[in-house]
Structure 1
């Protein structure tokens, strides 16, 4: 005889506990201890006693959510963005800037096993000069915004207070322009960049625009005084309107392609370049090496002080752009080379004459492949600019094993209100 079972609804009772929060992690979660485990609590700040609902329990840690606060931290702040808590862009707008910086500096110090000497920061609002906006056409019209935290769901945004004001002011006009296009349902994403030459827009589209749409986009570009680039299915950029973008670093003009990497936070970038040059103590007798140099953000300012500078980069297009920028700024003592930095660069002709100072600015994967080579080149000073504290910690230990010591450490508050932790370290040969 066949037997049939009816599914019963599973009832889950989540545990409510009371804890004291004593720290803040990089994702804006309060940190407490409960039953010998670390407890991460969304919405809680250090110094607060909260009732938290346990949402996830692992062997070594747990996650919880604030149900009620018994008190409020003096570092609690009112988020400026109406989308905070839904949009995945920011995680810490509910915490004061002072607390955010203290927490990041403390985390960096723990990882590097020494105190942070300096926090390099700028304006915590209106600092982003680049934003990539997702586009989705629905029955209700065009949605434009950022992805929700831990989800692919699109958050339709109207305001973004961390965007440069000039870019934030473009959000509504851009939405109106794109919504009116005949090909609105064939749009991929829009990227806004604020160069020193003015704002620019890169528009990804999945089908060719009609003549009417192209004309309307040109009119929008002229009315908003922005450069417009189209990226079709062949992924080749077509410059429709405006001039080629450029920005300034140390008073030099650096031209770039809209897709080239530039630091999002211009204010912190300017300070970072100045501090790196100061730490390197460059003079006219120095031969300096800039590894992972990009298109010359550090290389060209270094060339204004050193006798000779070599920039090495793994992306050929950036090497060519670096050469163009050197020529434009009339810097004749700098050369750019395309090399695989995982290979032995000490055998290259530009390394034969020795190196006095080195700057490293690698991607998140770090610079493990070049640390041993730095030991053989034996420069007096090495400045390491890092966007990942884990790989900085690993590479720092390896560099110290080759005869260097860490003498300066700075936290770069490149992305306020987020969990990104960037830093700079100075190493001197023993």
Structure 2
């Protein structure tokens, strides 16, 4: 076998990351956009010592789990959604099995896991309340879209299945006006050009915030005119920012955001608490599923009446403030200062007085809190890299009885399961919430109890 060869392969299973796995001549291949049960003709694109990767050229026999009539085969065909070719009930089944397999294998768990299942979504398209897309120029036309896999080449989709419907309208109208205005687009190679990224957020009332990220101010006046004109057509637009980003960091926003129209924030309400969302605020992108996720987390936390709770990696303090309704005191730890400022405003305006906010890294602030105050429970909602091992050890040392762990990455959750098990905790319950239908992403909620 060599790169460029075509092979016929039967897909046996899905693995975390969204690719199908099959064997050819006893050799393992990973095939993107494939479904277990597919028989495909695929072209080998890379070969390693123990495995290879191949791209579908033709579906010879489709899986029963593949959406009927679908002959599309590429990541771009499905608008960057790597599970969109799979029937939704099967998406949930595959995510559940991948989560359990990952936890058992990496977490070294031999016993049966008390898995309570996955909570599916009622709306499986147009559910995102935030989109962040790079600008690009294709055939002389300004577009926004997704990066192709393993590249920075942007592709545009005709009908975006993930953007909210109001965001879709606003983005399409804005692109039309930008193309009429002869704007330049940022070029990563020579660091020239004007437009870099477009961020559109909306709340459950369909109020919209637009943030346009630019490289320099040369065409700023013209851009302001376009954006203000957009607000006259769409009354749903209540906030418009311009963000200047002249460096090469991986983050989207620049260091300076200038409000040019309307309110400084969007307001979202969860369980009677009103939250302010700014351009750089962290807020879950699927509002309907967020409520289900947080309800499950609070169920696992149990009776918090008169108890002291830590909300680590708290973002804008959403979950911590929901818990504060019954808890004696909640300590929220977050490293992003703007999120903490937003959380403090939310607490003040909702007359929440039993929450304390700590700005800093969890690995630094949590040991300080545990040293000075006895805590009854901790909620973790870390980024994809999971939790620092020393942080987990500090919990074990202080004998915290109850840990609720929300994870967006089964691999790092599984790693931390092993650490917590070695520290004398047991994985009592595990559930999943499908925050991102049509994609391979898996959100899990787990409960750990001290043995």
Could you state the TM-score of these two structures normalised by the residue count of structure 1?
A: 0.89
Distance 1:250 1:377 in 2: 32
Deviations 1:87-125 (A, max 9, x none): 773112111122222222111101212543220231221
Match 1:231 to one of 231, 239, 243: 243
- Counterpart Cα distance in 1 of 2:95 and 2:444: 10
Tell me the distance in 2 between the aligned counterparts of 1:253 and 1:44: 42
TM-aligned CA deviation for residue 351 of structure 1: 5.1
Which residue is 2:190 aligned to?
none
Give the match for residue 4 of structure 1.
none
Structure 1: stretches of 5+ with no match in the other structure: 1-11
- Per mean C-alpha deviation after superposition, the further-off stretch among 87-96 and 274-283 is 87-96
Q: Where does the alignment leave 5 or more consecutive residues of structure 2 unmatched? A: 105-111, 186-193, 247-253
Corresponding residue of 2:88: 97
Cα displacement string for residues 180-213 of structure 1 (whole angstroms, at most 9, x for unaligned residues): 3354552222111112461111011222445454
Q: Name the residue aligned to 2:125.
A: 125
Closer/same/farther in 2, CA of residues 17 and 154 from structure 1, 3 Å limit: closer
- The 1:82/1:265 distance shift into structure 2, 3 A limit, reads farther
> Residue 256 of structure 1 aligns with which residue?
277
Q: Distance in 2 between matches of 1:416 and 1:354?
A: 39
Q: Which has the larger radius of gyration?
A: 1
The whole-number CA distance in structure 2 between the counterparts of 1:158 and 1:49 is 28
Question: How far apart in 1 are the matches of 2:149 and 2:102?
Answer: 26
Q: In the alignment, is residue 346 of structure 1 matched against residue 355 of structure 2?
A: no
1:237-386 maps to which residues of 2 (within 5 A)?
A: 237-243=257-263, 244-343=265-364, 345-348=366-369, 352-368=372-388, 369-386=390-407
Q: What's the offset of the Cα at 1:276?
A: 0.6
- Is 1:203 aligned with 2:206? no
Q: Secondary structure of the residue that 2:318 maps to in structure 1?
A: coil
- Residue aligned with 2:362, SS: coil
Following superposition, the deviation at residue 275 of structure 1 comes to 0.8
Identify if the C-alpha distance between structure 1 residues 83 and 174 changes in structure 2 by more than 3 Å, giving closer, same or farther.
farther
CA shift digits 1:260-304 (9 cap, x unpaired): 121111121111111111110133221111111111121000101
SS at match of 1:47: coil
Contact 1:132 1:190 (8 Å CA) reproduced: yes
What do residues 300-321 of structure 1 show as CA deviations (whole Å, max 9, x unaligned)? Answer: 0010121211111222222222
Taking the TM superposition and a 5 Å limit, the aligned residue runs for 1:138-149 are 140-149=140-149
1:17-47 CA deviation, whole Å, 9 max, x = no partner? 4443221234443221233332223443212
Deviation at 1:352, TM superposition (A): 2.4
TM-score where L is the length of structure 2: 0.85
Specify which of 44, 47, 69 is matched with residue 54 of structure 1: 44
Report what 2:251 is aligned to. none
Q: Which residue of 2 aligns with 1:44?
A: 34
Matched residue pairs, number?
Answer: 418
